[in-house]
Structure 1
Amino acid sequence: MFALAVAGLASITGCGNTYRPVVTAINPVGPAAQPQKFAIVVSTTGTTSPGLATIVDFAGDTVLITASIGVSPYYFATNAAGNTGYTLNGDGSITSFDISTSLLSSQVLQTTLIAGANPVSIFPQSTNSYIPEPGRNAVAVLLGTPPALKQELPIAAGFSPVYVVGNSTGSRAYSINQAVGGGNGQVAAIETTSNTLSSTIPVGATPVYGVMTADGKRAFIMNQGDNTVSVLNVQTNALDVVPAGATNPIKLIDPQTGLPGTAPLWADFALTRNELVVANAGSGNTPGTVSIINIPLCNATALPTNPNCDPTNPADATGFGQVLANIPVGLNPRMVAVLSDATRAYVVNQGDSTVSVVNLTTNTVTKTIPVPATIHPNFIAVIAGTPTGKVYVTSPESETMTVIRTDTDVVDTTIPLQGKGVMVRTQP
């Protein structure tokens, strides 16, 4: 038997060739790798102790690093690129930090504002950061790293600044100012290249929030006191001249059902649909709503109805300002976030601890997701991805953040924060 085996081996290896087994490559299967993006959460651990910035991996839903920031943070924003974070803190300071998985507490920078400023929000622009200061009736302008106070822009007597709306590259931003005694507010135009105020424009009652289109053509102001949205033409620095059949400010009344949108307080863009999605708080005792507003400007397809369209200052297309629907959602909605493909919007409802999923094609709520681990949620952010995106939800009463998958619209996991959630932001 051994001789036969040797003979057989000789017949294979005779001719001097060495044979090796052939390995056939197998194409990889399974979903593509998720992009490396982060959700950044700020939480507070008490009124006298440092807060925390927690960086969460989008793909794995894991905490990558946590660093100490300012004392009792209450507002959090990032720059447009999503690589720098800023917090306003209860001790009157501002902290800024790089959004990095190697972030150390010692790398967090701190700036102190003038005493009594009582800052309420921060808008980081490309070179400037703007902070409304109700306590000084001014908007602070900060420059550099860390941001340092360079000047204050005074707001007219009888008004109090609450928010600055703009975009990262715009030459003009607006300070949203409420009337001190109630009634109609105003916006003050900030020329960002010179950091001067150029004009004031009247808006509706009790304005609270605003958004500006990425091209800097229009800005929209949420007037909570009279259930309207004011439209600004940023090029002309004036109230927008809307087409026949529309009003400015836009009245949040569904023309089909007569259902009103009450107390608008947040908005986001459904870019590919040319729509503005507005969250309306409602009365607190009945479900709030989401208003879908048509906001097309003249373009190649709209030119026949806008023969005098100027590409640098486009007119509103036919249908601009029309309320397409008012969609009932949960109790006391606080915020809305739209997916980048504009298929759905997610509304966080503080009153019943749910998230409403709004289909923007049918303008209906397709699912209501309970988030009991995040009690009375008030802030939401989204990241697109393949095979799934993520929705992040925080609450000032919870030490956890809820993560929802967008492919199934179910809760994927909850993430411990070591503190009460303040806000969550995501990278673009």
Structure 2
Amino acid sequence: MIKFKMIFIVILLSGVIMAGCSSGSNAVDEQKSVSGDAQQTEGNKEEAEEKTEVQYYYTANEKGSISKIDAVDNSIVKTIEVEGSAHNVQVSPDGELIGATVVPGAGHGGGHGSHGEVSAKAVFYSVEGDELVQEVEVGNHPAHIVFTHDGKYAVVTNNEDNTASVIDMNSFNVTNTVETGKGPHGFRISSDSKRAYIANMGEDTVSVINLETKKEEKRIKVGIAPVTTGITSDGKTLVASLNGENALAVVDLATEKVDKIPVGTGPAQVYIDEKGQFAYVANQGTEETPSSSVTVIDLVLKKAITEIETGKGSHGVVTSPDNKRVYVTNMFEDTVSIIDKEQNKVIDTIEVKGVPNGISITE
């Protein structure tokens, strides 16, 4: 991502914008006097080891790569080079694929407005082998990619086309292109896989996309320059980070009543935790005046309860499936902050080169 301030000005003037484990092994019985018991114990151990899965989180890096990171020791396992600028990334519901949006161009923010021979696309890699599975051409300036919870589709917002591409995950074909508001960017999909809630950065709305009819149902007015949305698992509450108001919009979907909660400067992504209790807002600011915090919002009380110091240009944010950690990309210092949710403080910071932007974690 290039300088956010410049991007935001372009948004308002022209509407053309940037694209934003279980670990267990059964104990081996120390009593091995009986051969059969020893064999059974060893068999149990091997079976448990087979069921143990390593958990990873991934960052999409603007300078042309995807980082795969071990969630146990926070070491970078693999750097996957991509042809273009990787903007956003998400792990599929079954944990087998990692999807990313790639914009033509490379370098710091090279994907924001530089169109070369490389096509705008969504790319899919295997989690197990880190191998390229498929490339799918989508619209101009793909921003975010999100899988439906049932795994049938991947949806990509096309920021410059004011559309969203719906990709059938059985065939890897774009089956529908859906009209949205101006400058579609970050979004989330309801837990029943029926609707996508897309933040339109070029206006003050969220597009509600019906994924059964593949059409836009309506637009909800939320506030100035919404960057990303979140939806609670019960489908009752929508949130949207408002970059132009330094606030989080909290929307009651039954009435469409909007409450605005102040956050840090230049909020980018927002993520609702596994229990639907807290929303975590990454405050990015601009490259000249970066923010370096995450605001924690209590969705029941509808107020900010704390602000956690992170790194310069906090942008992407995700919580771990066990609800113990929060991971935040810091674009302007090439790091990821790991937050302990109970303590509400950073417990580790790791270097991730290449301007880390979007972030996702395996289930």
TM-score tier by shorter-chain length is: 0.5 to 0.7
> Where does residue 316 of structure 1 map in the other structure?
none
Whole-angstrom CA distance in 2 between matches of 1:370 and 1:261: 20
Whole-angstrom CA distance in 2 between matches of 1:67 and 1:335: 19
1:113-262 equivalences in 2 (<5 Å): 113=138, 117-125=140-148, 126-156=151-181, 159-167=182-190, 169-179=192-202, 185-234=204-253, 236=254, 239-240=256-257, 248-252=258-262, 261-262=264-265
Matched residue SS, 2:144: coil
Q: 2:56 aligns with which of 25, 33, 39?
A: 39
1:392-403 equivalences in 2 (<5 Å): 394-396=352-354
Whole-angstrom CA distance in 2 between matches of 1:262 and 1:293: 15
Deviations 1:233-263, CA, capped at 9 Å, x for gaps: 34x3x524xxxxxxx33221xxxxxxx5222
Is residue 2:126 matched to residue 1:99? yes
> Where does residue 312 of structure 2 map in the other structure?
331
Whole-angstrom CA distance in 2 between matches of 1:147 and 1:272: 32
Deviations 1:85-140, CA, capped at 9 Å, x for gaps: 223333225355462535655xx2233235xx222222222323322223322222
Give 1:396 shift. Answer: 1.3
> Where does residue 111 of structure 1 map in the other structure?
136
Cα RMSD over matched residues? 3.9
Give 1:198 shift. Answer: 1.2
Give 1:347 shift. Answer: 3.7
Cα pair distance change 1:104/1:331, threshold 3 Å: closer
Matched residue SS, 1:152: strand
| Equivalent position amino acid for 2:188 in 1 | V
Cα pair distance change 1:98/1:328, threshold 3 Å: closer
> Where does residue 275 of structure 1 map in the other structure?
278
Cα pair distance change 1:213/1:352, threshold 3 Å: same
Cα pair distance change 1:273/1:178, threshold 3 Å: closer
Cα pair distance change 1:177/1:39, threshold 3 Å: same
TM-score by length of 2: 0.68
CA contact (8 A) 2:57 2:70 kept: no
CA contact (8 A) 1:121 1:131 kept: yes
Give 1:327 shift. Answer: 3.5
CA contact (8 A) 2:55 2:362 kept: yes
| Equivalent position amino acid for 2:160 in 1 | G
CA contact (8 A) 1:73 1:422 kept: no
> Where does residue 361 of structure 2 map in the other structure?
426
Greater RCO (CA < 8 Å, at least 6 residues apart):
2
Give 1:208 shift. Answer: 0.7
Give 1:226 shift. Answer: 0.2
Deviations 1:45-92, CA, capped at 9 Å, x for gaps: 98xxxx777766667989888887x63251332222221222333322
CA contact (8 A) 2:65 2:86 kept: no
Give 1:288 shift. Answer: 2.8
Give 1:272 shift. Answer: 4.4
Cα pair distance change 1:261/1:83, threshold 3 Å: same
Provide structure 2 residue ranges, at least 5 long, that are not aligned to the other structure.
1-31, 43-47, 105-117
What is the aligned-residue identity percentage?
Answer: 17
CA contact (8 A) 2:123 2:135 kept: yes
Structure 1 stretch displaced more, 209-218 or 351-360: 351-360
| Equivalent position amino acid for 1:163 in 2 | G
Whole-angstrom CA distance in 1 between matches of 2:200 and 2:220: 10
Cα pair distance change 1:279/1:198, threshold 3 Å: same
CA contact (8 A) 1:54 1:63 kept: yes
Provide structure 1 residue ranges, at least 5 long, that are not aligned to the other structure.
1-21, 241-247, 253-259, 297-318, 375-393, 398-420
Whole-angstrom CA distance in 1 between matches of 2:123 and 2:335: 32
CA contact (8 A) 1:134 1:161 kept: yes
> Where does residue 288 of structure 1 map in the other structure?
292
CA contact (8 A) 1:36 1:57 kept: no
Deviations 1:254-283, CA, capped at 9 Å, x for gaps: xxxxxx522221222344481112222246
CA contact (8 A) 2:318 2:359 kept: no
| Equivalent position amino acid for 2:354 in 1 | P
Cα pair distance change 1:81/1:219, threshold 3 Å: farther
Whole-angstrom CA distance in 1 between matches of 2:227 and 2:62: 27
> Where does residue 85 of structure 1 map in the other structure?
98
